Amino acid sequence: MSLRVSPKIAISLVILMAAFSILVALSFRGTMVYYLTVSEFLSHPPSDLDGHFRVNGRVVPGSITRQTGVLGASFQMTDGNEKLPVVFRKELPDTFVDEAEVVVEGNMREGSFEAHTLLAKCPSKYESQKKANYSPSP
């Protein structure tokens, strides 16, 4: 007894598998974000990299500018080599201070990085607690 598959069913299965593969590929492409340092980001023209990025660096001391009555801030971030002006128009995290390590996600607009996501951590606040609680074993 041999199993025969009609040509219509075989063609339908091939078309469905191809459509599913294309949908999966497109969904991954939409969620991919380039993760770069400030220097790496500035060395590539934004048109080269698809337009959506995560940039990692530190807040330049004294560069945070807030307007009263308006959410967010503008600031500069650095990786120690280059500086990038950033604008963020949402509520700021409590850990967003001078020299905090930040990751911003967004794209370039008119000479500054328009961030729609800002993640900030302040390791100095936690490192001193770790060192105080750490005791090497003999």
Dump the DSSP string for 8-55. HHHHHHHHHHHHHHHHHHHHHHHH--EEEEHHHHHHS-GGGGTT-EEE
pLDDT in tens, 22-34: 888 777 665 666 7
Amino acid at 89: R
- Going from N- to C-terminal start, the domains of the chain cover 33-128
Helices (H) and strands (E) in the chain, counts: 3, 6
3-state secondary structure of 60: coil
pTM (2 d.p.): 0.65
pLDDT of residue 61: 94
Domain formed by 33-128, architecture:
Beta Barrel (2.40)
pLDDT tens track for 53-74: 789 999 999 999 998 888 999 9
